[in-house]
Amino acid sequence: MARERSWRAQKVIERLEQKVNRQVLLSLAACVHCGMCTEQCHYVLANPDDPTYAPAYKADKLRKLFKAHIDWTGRAFPWWVGARSVYTDEELEDLKDTVFGKCTNCRRCSFNCPMGVDMATFNRLARGLLVHVGIMPEGVATVAKDQWEIGNQMGVLKEDYLETVEWMEEELQDEFDDPNIKIPIDKKGAELVYTINPREAKYDPRTIAEAAAIFHFAGENWTMVSEGWDMTNFGLFNGDDELGGACARRVYDAARTIGAKRIVISECGHGYRSTRCEGPNWSKTDLPDIEMESSIITMLRYIKEGRIQVDKSKNSIPVTYHDSCNMARSCGMTEEPRELLRLVCSDFREMYPNRQQNFCCTGGGGAMSMAEYAPRRLKSAKIKAEQLRATGAKIVITSCHNCVDGLTDLIKHYQLDMEVKQLVDMVYNALVVPKPAPKVEVPVAVAPGEIPAKALAGYKVLVIDDEPDVRTYLRVIFKDKGAEVLEAPDANQGWRQIRDQKPDLVTLDLVMPHKTGEKLYWELRKDEKYKNLPIVIITGYGKTDKPTVRFHEFIAEKGIPEPNAFLEKPIDPDKVIETAIQVLGTRIPSDQIQ
Amino acid sequence: MYETSPLLHFAEDTLQIAALAFMAIVYALKIRWILKFPAGKERQKPTAPPGRDGRKGALYSLAAIALPWAMASYRERPLRYVQFAVFHLAVAASILMSFLIPYAPETIASPAAVVALQAIFAAGILMGLMRLWRRLADPHVRAISTPDDYFSLALLIVWLGASIAAAPNAREVSETPLLAYFFLTAFFLVYVPFSKISHYIYYPFSRYYLGKTLGRRGAYPLANPAAMLKPES
């Protein structure tokens, strides 16, 4: 006799059959139960004796259902391959406990799975199946309801939001004694729409003010919006594609109404992933005319373009960086935050493991809204606490609001002597204001055209570049300003010249045959004698590669400091000289590096 | 000159071809079944930085199994990678041998070749037993193991044992080892499409799709996986 099945269980099965696509099917079918994912999960590390926390075990909860109803071997020989259907609401509650309470969808297991099983994706699908029949943690239901009904996941009313923005505008005007600082709302024709996490409006409005100050001093034509300002998306966490699509569409529509060319997403891991990557899929929207970027990229661009000036010595407390799972593993954003941090902080310490191998803050996947699982979450944060403690940093920076909350909680729980900040806090704190916006590569007081004729007299400059034309060009430029110029066509000869001739300044190309400029730079920075030798990187773009990006990844991986300056070809002679003056003005005298 | 018995001739030729044909048909059906499910599409613009894209991500992902240093799971437990590699190598060698014995016996006729094959199979058995022991002893792995997981592993260990006996191809001495080996091979070929052993059919698909998505978003290829895990000494 067929076993009776509850209405909910029946609906879950029907919906599973509708929702499985090829990627999910393959992830469900491909697992070989090798168990290599086990120790990659922070829950397992905190609960080593409980196999129910292992990623493959958790994944099997849905996999058994898949095998029982979709997989043909599972339907033919269910016992043999571990297929099992669901019949009761209690079984669905048990599934809820696993997919909401024992997994943050961080995706670390997938990066360490030999078969490429994407567990986070189908864990999200399992959440969606349960949400569809009303089975979910209460907090998840509340947040989703707020996002559907009020338009943001913290239920911030429009009036309160606008009042907060106005308040922050007044704060900024007072702080800088400048009534012209504005936080525009619904400004038609703005180039850029800035979208935020409602947590900022509700609990942390200073980040809105800080971002506004950065936009103001960068001279940006920007605006916030009165509707569609929440870039977070609970659809990512509760597996509801319809909610995901509705939230994303609100943001896109707001930008279209303004006529903006760019949506800037404040520092929020899941908001960034949802708005930029998943949103177009859920909402079935193509956005050919609107670019989307994280505010990390925006701030970095402002600094690189010289639109804002920063002084890293203002942030001298040791800091470390926590990679948000959604940023690093699901969106590949690992180098840009580090590049920005190195520009605005003077003591950055890498955390291990990091980037795509980092451990979750344990507050991801909507965990912060599920109070019933808080003890479990904090227990699982042990590995994260150990990671943080090992850095010796006093501040942990993260570019995600969930991570801010998750890390703050665990810092308190494990009594770490640390605080959590975001990149916007650090950039704001390092801002040099008010000043006309000089280029950061050339932050000198000497205006173009006012450089003294023999400004570099008495200095020895070594040009390392494999292109003879470039060497000749730079030689003429430096000689014209009185410098003694040495040349080297490759990195090895450059090394010899540095040892023998003791130049005051080195210009270094990155792309060279045999030994690259990166390698030489690394060797110099490792060498006690030459670690402070002023070096200006002068490089160009390859056809398919961007050496600057690669270089920054390289120095980030090696943990070596930024060069004294960075210039891109084609070479602007004024800029080269201005940079050289700037760098030599702060150099360590030659006798100290010999 | 020794004349092969009709039974062995059947086992090493007709039976193998029939089993292979059966396996191919089931695999074709299986791939057709996979392709019936629509692939999720990525509408968003690529977000990867220069040098990374979906194609590179997919290629990297497909090669991931050959990059044990890129996965913390293998990096932290290199012996498991050795187990994986040796075991799979032994299985591949035995599959190859099932073709060489009937159709090109001279290629593995030398004593050195026989000893080399037997050594590979013996190493494969050892690794298989270690894997089986882990499946039985480790509560995490035991909790996820199905009868198919145990049977598939045991089947391969037994099959590798038969491979050792069959490797000399000494039919003139006794046909029994060869008969055991070829009947087991035929069973293996018929059973594989219904078991977890068919994971290699899924591997290219699952890795391709994961890599394509992560590559398009810039998370793959990993720039320097070793540096992510530990500070460089």
Q: Give me the percent of chain B exceeding a pLDDT of 70.
A: 99
Give residue-wise pLDDT tens across range A139-188.
999 999 999 999 999 999 999 999 999 999 999 999 999 999 999 999 99
> Domain spanning B6-37+76-221 has what CATH number?
1.20.950.20
Could B72 and A80 be called an inter-chain contact, meaning their C-beta atoms sit closer than 8 Å? no
> Domain spanning A460-593 has what CATH number?
3.40.50.2300
Give residue-wise pLDDT tens across range A504-523.
999 999 888 778 888 888 88
Could A51 and B41 be called an inter-chain contact, meaning their C-beta atoms sit closer than 8 Å? no
A56 close to B (CB below 8 A): yes
- Take residue A145 and report the two structure tokens written for it: 């309801």
Q: For residues A433 and A437, what is the distance between their CA atoms, to the nearest angstrom?
A: 9
Instruction: Give the chain A residue nearest B233 (alpha carbons).
Output: A558
Q: For residues B127 and A225, what is the distance between their CA atoms, to the nearest angstrom?
A: 62
With cut-offs at 50, 70 and 90, classify the pLDDT of residue A589.
very low
Residue A443: is its pLDDT beyond 70? no
Residue B178 has a pLDDT of 98
Q: Give me the percent of chain A exceeding a pLDDT of 70.
A: 94
Average pLDDT of the segment spanning B91-107: 98
Cis peptide before A570 (omega within 30 of 0): yes
Q: B125 to chain A, minimum CA–CA distance in Å? A: 17
Rg (CA), chain B: 21
Per DSSP, the residues of A177-189 read T-TT----BS-TT
Q: Which residues of A touch B141 (CB under 8 A)?
A: 33-35, 38
Instruction: Round the average pLDDT of chain B to a whole number and report it.
Output: 95
Phi, psi of A193 (to 5 degrees): -105, 125
Q: How far apart, in Å, are the Cα atoms of A5 and each of A14, A89, B61?
A: 12, 9, 41
Q: Which residues of A touch B202 (CB under 8 A)?
A: 26, 29-30, 115
Give residue-wise pLDDT tens across range A295-343.
999 999 999 999 999 999 999 999 999 999 999 999 999 999 999 999 9
Residue ranges per structural domain of chain B: 6-37+76-221
Correct CATH for A7-136 of 3.10.180.10, 3.30.390.10, 3.40.50.620, 1.10.1060.10: 1.10.1060.10
Could B43 and A280 be called an inter-chain contact, meaning their C-beta atoms sit closer than 8 Å? yes
Q: Which residues of A touch B231 (CB under 8 A)?
A: 350, 352, 559
Q: Which residues of B touch A332 (CB under 8 A)?
A: 47-49, 52, 214, 217-220
Q: Which residues of B touch A353 (CB under 8 A)?
A: 72, 228-230
Q: For residues B38 and B55, what is the distance between their CA atoms, to the nearest angstrom?
A: 20
B33 close to A (CB below 8 A): yes
Q: How far apart, in Å, are the Cα atoms of A358 and each of A42, A321, A407, B6?
A: 10, 10, 14, 62
Give residue-wise pLDDT tens across range A34-77.
999 999 999 999 999 999 999 999 999 999 999 999 998 999 99
Instruction: Give the chain A residue nearest B220 (alpha carbons).
Output: A332
Residue A441 has a pLDDT of 42
Residue ranges per structural domain of chain A: 7-136, 138-440, 460-593
Regarding an ipTM greater than 0.90, the answer is: yes
Could A357 and B231 be called an inter-chain contact, meaning their C-beta atoms sit closer than 8 Å? no
B222 close to A (CB below 8 A): yes
Nearest to A252 by CA among A244, A243, A263, A264: A263
With cut-offs at 50, 70 and 90, classify the pLDDT of residue B231.
confident
Closest by Cβ to A51, choosing from B45, B143, B199: B143
Residue A535 has a pLDDT of 92
Interface test with B, best of A23, A43, A109, A525 (most B CBs within 10 A): A23
Q: Identify the sign of the CA torsion A297, A300, A302, A308.
A: positive
Q: A427 to chain B, minimum CA–CA distance in Å? A: 23
Size of interface A-B (CB pairs under 8 A): 212
Interface test with B, best of A16, A26, A557 (most B CBs within 10 A): A26
Instruction: Give the chain B residue nearest A282 (alpha carbons).
Output: B43
The SS3 of residue A288 is coil
Give residue-wise pLDDT tens across range A450-500.
677 778 888 899 999 988 888 888 888 888 888 889 999 888 888 888 988
Q: Give me the percent of chain B exceeding a pLDDT of 90.
A: 89
